Amino acid sequence: MSKPKFDLKPVQQLSSHSVLIWRIVQAAVWLIGAAILFCLLFFPSIGLLLFWNILIPVAPALLVVGTGIWRNVCPLATTNLLPRHFGLSKRKKLSATQLGRLNLIAVIALYAIVPLRHALFNNNGIATALLIISMAVTGVIAGFFYEWKSVWCSGLCPIHPVEKLYGGNVLITMPNAHCDLCQNCVVPCPDSTPNIHPKSSVKTIYHRVSGLLIVGGLPGFIWGWFHVPDEKATTALSALIGVYEMPLLGFATTLVVYWILSIIIQPKFERRLIGFFAALGVSCYYWYRIPALFGFGSFGDDGLLINLRNELPGYCIVMVTITAAIFFFYCLFIKKQNNKSWLIRPQFADKQGRMKSKLSV
Ligand code: SF4
């Protein structure tokens, strides 16, 4: 099996000792995920706090710094890859068109699900748990049929478009702790391609549209999302529709701006433009999320972790959010592309899917 042209990094094979350590870490993080799921079902106030106000707020910054860390330990990925790890997968491969379609579905799912946090998920532990369980069931079923991360982690997962946007210039690269050998199941492999971004692949119309929607639309979508309060008990259909209005308004605005800019700028600056929109999106997220976590939000207790309003002067929070924005713009827009991938590709398998070196012994 030939190396794809995107692979510019040396391969790295984990020793059995390193595999054991990664399995322990994955099991530990999986147990934390299972505990959060248990709390969401049976102690919803604790589960909602742990999931929406601790785990999720950390995620965007983690993706900017080291997307590969999350790709190696994500409990959902660990669950979905179990059939492959245990040799129960049929290991089918997707065509470029199929993968493009999954990527587009992932982007649409992201924009469809996130506004529902205001109407449902932020205040309903069982609904949040069912959302997670439904994603795990989908991923596990896919894992029984398709090779490694192709269908879920690099295809259908609604977080994956955000990984590709924010993970374009990561600071940390690490070994791939899931794929024992590279079966070339996704081309380009998002884990192994240096400075991957949502427009790295333009093979089909689905790839192109999904890239455009996530790069252009996400910053405005985030801005709009933070201008909607949580509905404490939504029953009316109008309230359900209402939670989409501001995010979609913001989405459309930045999408049009990005689209115009991407037409008028020279192609050599397109990567820079993507980095700018990525930095804008993640900075906007923390601009609103950090104040809300510490009691300085616009909508009372929405998204509150701990209320420091009486302990901290407001300018401290402003300084933290400005520092965060400077950091994200530095990483994603100002800093030179560092030729790092999220993970280091394992050795390529031979045509029978086995390790090449073992055959030559
Ligand atoms: S490293 Fe290889 S096997 Fe693993 S997800 Fe990437 S392309 Fe697929």
Report domain extents, the chain: 16-338
How far is the centre of ligand 1, averaged over its atoms, from the C-alpha of 189 (Å)?
6
Mean pLDDT of 188-201: 94
| The amino acid at 49 | L
Q: Is the predicted pLDDT of residue 148 greater than 90, yes or no?
A: yes
pLDDT band at 239 (very low <50, low <70, confident <90, very high): confident
Mean pLDDT of 206-227: 97
Mean pLDDT of 195-224: 95
Q: Which of 337, 344, 284 is nearest to 168 (CA)?
A: 337
Mean pLDDT of 244-263: 97
Q: Is the predicted pLDDT of residue 4 greater than 50, yes or no?
A: no
Q: Is 77 in the pocket of ligand 1 (CB under 6 A)?
A: no
Closest CA to ligand 1's atom 7: 184
pLDDT at 152: 96
Q: How far is residue 308's CA from residue 294's CA, in Å, rounded to a whole number?
A: 5
| The amino acid at 345 | R
Q: Is 149 in the pocket of ligand 1 (CB under 6 A)?
A: yes
pLDDT band at 201 (very low <50, low <70, confident <90, very high): confident
pLDDT band at 307 (very low <50, low <70, confident <90, very high): very high
Q: pLDDT tens for residues 66-108?
A: 999 999 999 999 999 999 999 999 999 999 999 999 999 999 9
Mean pLDDT of 280-301: 95
pTM: 0.91
Angle CA(289)–CA(290)–CA(292) in degrees, nearest 5? 65
DSSP lists the bridge partners of residue 344 as 175
Mean pLDDT of 160-167: 97
Q: Is the predicted pLDDT of residue 236 greater than 90, yes or no?
A: no
- Please, what is the average pLDDT of the chain? 92
Q: Is 89 in the pocket of ligand 1 (CB under 6 A)?
A: no
pLDDT at 9: 53
pLDDT at 234: 59
pLDDT at 3: 45
Q: Which of 182, 204, 201, 207 is nearest to 192 (CA)?
A: 182
How far is the centre of ligand 1, averaged over its atoms, from the C-alpha of 267 (Å)?
29
Q: Is 91 in the pocket of ligand 1 (CB under 6 A)?
A: no
Q: Is the predicted pLDDT of residue 2 greater than 60, yes or no?
A: no
How far is the centre of ligand 1, averaged over its atoms, from the C-alpha of 212 (Å)?
24
Closest CA to ligand 1's atom 1: 182
How far is the centre of ligand 1, averaged over its atoms, from the C-alpha of 108 (Å)?
24
Alpha-carbon distances of 67 from 25, 129, 219, rounded to whole Å: 16, 24, 19
pLDDT at 350: 79
Q: Is 177 in the pocket of ligand 1 (CB under 6 A)?
A: no
Residue with tokens 């699900």: 113
Task: Give the nearest ligand 1 atom to 181 CA.
Answer: 3
How far is the centre of ligand 1, averaged over its atoms, from the C-alpha of 223 (Å)?
34
Q: Is the predicted pLDDT of residue 139 greater than 90, yes or no?
A: yes
Q: Is the predicted pLDDT of residue 168 greater than 80, yes or no?
A: yes
Three-state DSSP class for residue 351: coil
Q: Is the predicted pLDDT of residue 359 greater than 50, yes or no?
A: no
Residue predicted with more confidence, 137 or 299: 137
Is the separation of the CB atoms in 65 and 340 below 8 Å? no
Q: pLDDT tens for residues 22-71?
A: 999 999 999 999 999 999 999 999 999 999 999 999 999 999 999 999 99
